[in-house]
Chains A and B, each alone.
Chain A
Amino acid sequence: MDGLHDMGGRQGFGLVVMSGRREPFHDEWEVRAAAISARLIGQHVYNMDEFRHAIERMAPRHYICASYFERTFTAAATLCVEKGVISHAELNALSGEMVPLASPARPGRIAPADLPELRIGDWVTVKNEFVGGHTRVPAYVRGKRGQIVDISPAYPFADAAAHGLEPAAQRTFDVRFRSADLWPDCCDDAEVHVGLFHCYLEIASPPV
C-alpha cells in the first residue's frame, strides 16, 4: 500500500530531535494503549501484520497528525471493531465523542509458488509490483537492484497474514543497495539494507 506510512526517503522533514524524545513513553495512557495491544496480540485476537496494516489504513491526515501511541490505539480499536470484540457505537458512547477508526482494508494476496533459488552474493531486482493491501516492500527499493547479504528462516508471508489469508512461510533476504542506486545524485553515500520476502525478488544480472 502506497500510504504515508512508507516514509523512507521522503523529503521536507526537519532535524531529528533527541532532546525530550529519548524515552519510549511520555504519558501514562501511552503505556496503557501499548499494553492493551500487546495483550490482544498475545491472545491472538489479531496478529502483528494485521496490527501494522490497521495503522497504515488510517486516513492520511489522521495518520500524519496522530502521535505514535494514538496510532497504536486506533489500530487496536479498529481491529476490535472489525473482529466483533466491541462495537464502534459502544466505544463512542463510553468515550463521549466520535472516535475515528482506520479505513477498511483492500484484499490481500497469497504467496506464489515455484520461486527461484537464491543465495548470498546473488544480484536481485525488487519486482515492480503495486500492492493494494499490506506489503513489506518500502517504495524506495521498488524496481531497484541489490545484492543478497543474508538469508532468514521462513517467516509468515506478511501480505497474506495481514488479511486473514493463509500466510505460507517464506524466507526473507537481506539485500544491500547502494544509496546512489536508490536516489542517484541526491543522497548521502551509504549501503542501505532491506529485508525482503522471497517472492518480492527476481534474479538480476550483476552490474557491469
Chain B
Amino acid sequence: MNSSSMETRVAALEALLKEKGALAEDSIPTYAHRTSEEWLPVNGARLCARAWCDSGFKRFLLSDGKAAAASMGFTMPEHHRKLAVKENTPSIHNVICCTLCSCTAFTIIGMAPGWYKDFEYRARIVREARTVLAEMGLVLPDEIHIRVWDTTTDTRYMILPLQPPYTAGWSEERLVRLVTKESLIGVQRLEPPFLAVQDQDTLHG
C-alpha cells in the first residue's frame, strides 16, 4: 500500500480512537519521544562497558540481565520478563533474531532496524547464519562457532560483544562509545580483524 493511503488510514484510526477516548492527546508525542530519545542502544552500550570494567557486574549481567539493567536505571516493558545476555568469546559468536515477527529488547538496544524486520533476515539467519553475516559485512572464520537465538517468548536477548584487546585500560565512558546497535544484535564484532581500529572513529559519526 502506498504511503499516502497509509497516512490517511492511520489518521482515520487515530481520530476515531481519540473520539472514543481510547487514545490520549499526548499518546503519540510521548511514544515518539521515547523511541527517539530514551530507548537507545547507548543503554546496552553502558551495560557492556560496565561489564568489561567490572567482573562482578559482568557476572550480575550474565545471570540476571533485567535486574542488572534495572540497577542502572533501565526499565523494560511488562512483556519483556527476562533479559538473557549472551557473551561473545574469541571462539563463539552469538546473534539474535525473531523469525516469527520482530521482537527485540528495544528499551535496552533501541528499536529494531528495518533490515531486522525484513523477510530476508527473518527467513535466512537461522538456516544460513554464516552466509547472511558475511553478506552483512561480518566474515567469520570456521573456527568461530555461531549461536543463533530466535526470540519466541517473553525472554529478550542482548549480546555482550568481546572487548577489543587494544582498549584494555580505557575508561568506561570511552568504552561506551565503541558499542553499536549492530554489535548488540550480533551482526557485527568490534575487535580486529572484524573491525579495524581506525573504523571506530567513524562508527558514531
Among A20, A24, A70, the residue within 8 A (CB) of B112 is A24
B6-A73 in contact (CB<8A): yes
Q: Are A152 and B10 in contact (CB under 8 A)?
A: no
Q: Which residues of A contact B32 (CB under 8 A)?
A: 31, 35
Contact B132 A16 (CB under 8 A): yes
Question: What is the CA–CA distance of A88 and B132 in the complex, to the nearest angstrom?
Answer: 41
Which residue of B has the minimal Cβ distance to A18? Answer: B115
Contact of A29 among B10, B20, B125, B135 (CB under 8 A): B10
A112 contacts partner chain B, Cβ-Cβ < 8 Å: no
Contact B10 A36 (CB under 8 A): yes
Is B13's CB under 8 angstroms from A24's CB?
A: no
Asked if A140 meets B135 with Cβ closer than 8 Å, knowing A21-B114, A76-B13, the reply is: no
Cβ of A85 to closest chain B Cβ, rounded Å: 6
Against A, the Cβ 8 Å flags (1 = close, 0 = not) of B1-44 are 10101111111111111001011100110111001000000000
Given contacts A9-B123, A26-B114, A66-B1, contact A188 B131 (CB under 8 A): yes
Considering the complex, which residues of chain B in the window 98-157 have a beta carbon less than 8 Å from any beta carbon of chain A?
99-102, 110-115, 117-132, 135-137, 145-155
CB closest residue in chain B, given A176: B147
Which residue of the partner chain A has the closest CB to B115?
Answer: A21
Specify which chain B residues have a CB less than 8 angstroms from the CB of A16 in the assembled complex: 115, 118, 120-121, 124-125, 132, 135-136
Provide 12 A-B residue pairs closer than 8 Å at the C-beta atoms, listed in order of the A residue.
Answer: A8-B99, A8-B150, A31-B35, A34-B35, A36-B13, A43-B22, A80-B17, A95-B12, A140-B99, A152-B81, A172-B155, A176-B147
Could you list which residues of chain A lie within 8 angstroms of chain B, going by C-beta atoms? 5-11, 13-18, 20-29, 31-36, 38-40, 43, 45, 47-48, 52, 55, 64-70, 73, 76-77, 80, 85-86, 90-91, 94-97, 99, 136-138, 140, 150, 152-153, 155-156, 158, 172, 174, 176, 179, 182-183, 186-197
